[in-house]
A and B are shown apart, each in its own frame.
Chain A
């Protein structure tokens, strides 16, 4: 009975008790090698002959660990084979693991095999271990689970394929088994909501129905967890604070599959059961604030947005307290004026049977100031280009709003992937400062090449156009001769070169350069030059225009910082031969100065969801000897509003007026004509073309007053536009915005005929497609409600138009 009664003493020597002694290794041998070399084993172990080691000590353990780490050996043993005065002989015996020659996957489809081959991490030449094989099996099972296979069998076998080099081939024989779909989701204990409502609330896991033939309703574990969270969230958002899931189970079950209402076949499916406890629905009774000195109770309660007696919605509560993307929240109230260290500790106290008191304890703390503002990931764009766009400035009060605006504006420059811009805050509560770092991703190219062909309509024929835009050019580096692989970049300058030709004798060459910050100051410089030539088929008419301009622009701080101002000095040389009689034959010179005031608060270049743009411009070509004279005013206003969900309404209104300062040498160039798109209108470069959907534009297709049967163009114009737009695809690689529109506009011969509501109308639909490499393409299909008298353009016809470039 008594186990200690055996008096044979057990001799266990604790190696730690032995006195450590130093030995010199006098000799070392290695046993059990097949392909590895002895020197390698000894070298790895660190136990070279002549080395001094301490036994017991670190050295032997370290040697075994090092050998283990190579992954090449098992059963590593180091034993003493002899001992002399101060010296020791050692033997390392190892078992070499077989190494992988290759692995094969059998029993599955080819496509699955190649997927698996990519996912399995076994590497030829590396030792095959139990864990590496088990890992591969797990990978396989996980892969099939994602596909709805519940019971995947993997049979692993190894064959020696190279005995000399001790290599093995590992074969995975897979039987994926049946693929099961979720056929039934049922609930128990739900009284306030029916099964259908609850099924919808799950979100991720869906029940299969005969009409849902587009998607497979597979069961995935992580999705089920998410579904349960969603369910809980759904209840809590309806005031059921005591809600909990009492039990859930997932199992396979047999059911009868119905086909064509007649045939019935037995099948297996997945069934999900969820039992819940609902509890009472809580309503808000009192809202109490503690510790607020900056805002009053009323201001805070109003921001929180709960009324007495309102059902307590937990998501709304958290959102209104912490962060609310679409509207106000309490934390932003504080964080926008510097209270970074502000904290709100909510306490939800249950009072009476179904009421809660919201007691919110605020710790306002001190105002934090911004210290260092840095960014990382700019591998192409220079610091200044980024830093000048940052709204968070060192020394200023911390503001969450400023960070949000910075992210938006950095996204708008177009150099960085919008979704991956991320602010990292490093607060220092002791000094009441915060460092802000923005991480950026600049891996995508910013340059694009537009190449397009299209039919320009009557009298123009086929259009071919090519344009290269270097959106992040650096002229300084170009001059220094560096970075020409392929194009010097980094200073945020824009350089573009374009060519356009058409079948019927039109040619256009243009180049433009823009430096948004001239010599490091917020002053933008633009230089444009272009040459256009058109010869009309079957007539001796020939128009030429050489045009050049220099512009300076600046962002203004007043009245607010959405304003900007631009001055443009331009020179145009027209040469007209055989043209319309109201245009002067031969060369005409025009020198003009233009002033533009703009306020732009739109949030996106391609499809704004909010904001507006107001633009006022005045241009004057003063009467000078040898130069033609005129003056021109233009104004436009557009507004973007999100109506429901992502649906955006854009409305815009435009007016233009062309006048003359004196009788002499009036310029009849650049009068207003409406219709068509910007791209095709480049050919009628003698006029100021205003694009209008539903009307073809160009010669014989524009809205213009007539004089003696000639299209003379208007001295005034109006344009109104409504557009309802929906972002269908908003990926980085592609963006698609379908829209419906209603446009209207007209051009008037002179001020006395001006009638702002006598307009030509069109309605229709279209889509804007943005691909990074191609730029923005706009396709529209418009139905004319009004025709243009004296032309072939009649009411009640459809017009297809194609454009490249941004409309906003």
Chain B
């Protein structure tokens, strides 16, 4: 950009602010950010300083430097707790972290921060129009965290660490019961128990097939209309058939279990 567009020595505060805004409006966000920094330094304690702080954050945001943007939005809301754009800044701070949230296979530190910030936004501004939008982002981000746990479980299952897989399917279900991954995890938990039992020594088999049956019951309770129900039923049928084969010499506990399950069918 041209030299006269940049802030010069001796420019007054209003001129400096105007130049920064025009850089911002023409999309030169990196230069605009630098210019707003100058305005903030010159105009601390003035309205120009306050506005510049907000647009500094916006410049970083539009430039895709979300980590810097989130820090500047946060500074704006702490320095000017009474400002009009405070709500906007709180939302954009959370949204910056949303933008920073990487694919599920990587560290999800920013995802967790984004969820926290959106939750804070919703409790601060319950009447805002964007509450719904924020809630949607929370759902999306939580689903990503659930997916991460679910895929960890799958790795354990592929490497035949069945107990570890079951621990991780459980973590998925416990922590994110509302997500679709919980349902998926529960179905896979049933089939993992079946595979695990198939490959176990006989003395352990009953307990592990029973694990599959118990998981199926949880499934029916949590997701009676679940889209994976038929799949879950196929697996549990295998488990029940195997339990029936093991049947002779069964404990009285086993007797009590079967009427309950047949009622559910």
Contact = CB atoms under 8 A, between A and B. Distances in A.
Q: Do A and B bind each other?
A: yes
Interface of A: 35-37, 39-40, 43, 46, 70, 72, 124-126, 371-372, 375-384, 387-388, 393-396, 490, 520-522
A333 B102 CA distance: 41
Contacts of A125: 41-42, 44
Given A36-B46, A46-B82, A125-B42, A379 B105 contact: no
**Chain B residues touching A, majority SS:** helix
B68 to A, nearest CB: 17
Interface stretch (B135-143, B154-162, B209-217): B154-162
B164 interface: yes
A394 B159 contact: no
A396 to B, nearest CB: 7
Contact of B106 (A371, A382, A396): A382
Closest 5 CB pairs of A and B: A395-B163, A394-B167, A382-B105, A394-B164, A36-B45
A387 B155 CA distance: 8
Interface residues of B, number: 28
B166 A395 contact: yes
Contacts of B151: 383-384
B106 A379 contact: yes
A488 to B, nearest CB: 12
Contacts of A124: 41
B158 A383 contact: no
B129 interface: no
30 contacts: A35-B45, A37-B46, A40-B46, A40-B47, A70-B45, A72-B44, A124-B41, A125-B41, A372-B171, A375-B107, A376-B109, A377-B107, A379-B102, A380-B106, A383-B105, A383-B151, A383-B152, A383-B155, A384-B105, A388-B155, A388-B159, A393-B164, A394-B156, A394-B167, A395-B161, A395-B166, A395-B167, A520-B154, A521-B158, A521-B159
Given A46-B82, A387-B152, A378 B44 contact: no
Contact of A43 (B82, B159, B166): B82
Contacts of A377: 107
A630 B150 CA distance: 50
A380 B109 CA distance: 13
Interface of B: 41-42, 44-47, 82, 102, 104-107, 109, 148, 151-152, 154-156, 158-159, 161, 163-164, 166-168, 171
Nearest to A41: B45
Given A378-B107, A379-B102, A384 B155 contact: yes
B47 A39 contact: yes
Contacts of A37: 45-47
A81 to B, nearest CB: 24
Given A372-B171, A383-B106, A520 B158 contact: yes
B107 A393 contact: no
Nearest to B105: A382
Contact of A72 (B42, B45, B155, B161): B45
A387 B105 CA distance: 11
A428 to B, nearest CB: 13
A395 B65 CA distance: 41
Nearest to B149: A372
Contacts of A39: 47
A37 B47 CA distance: 9
Given A46-B82, A394-B161, 11 more contacts: A37-B47, A125-B41, A125-B44, A126-B44, A376-B109, A395-B161, A395-B163, A396-B163, A396-B164, A520-B154, A520-B158
Contacts of A36: 45-46
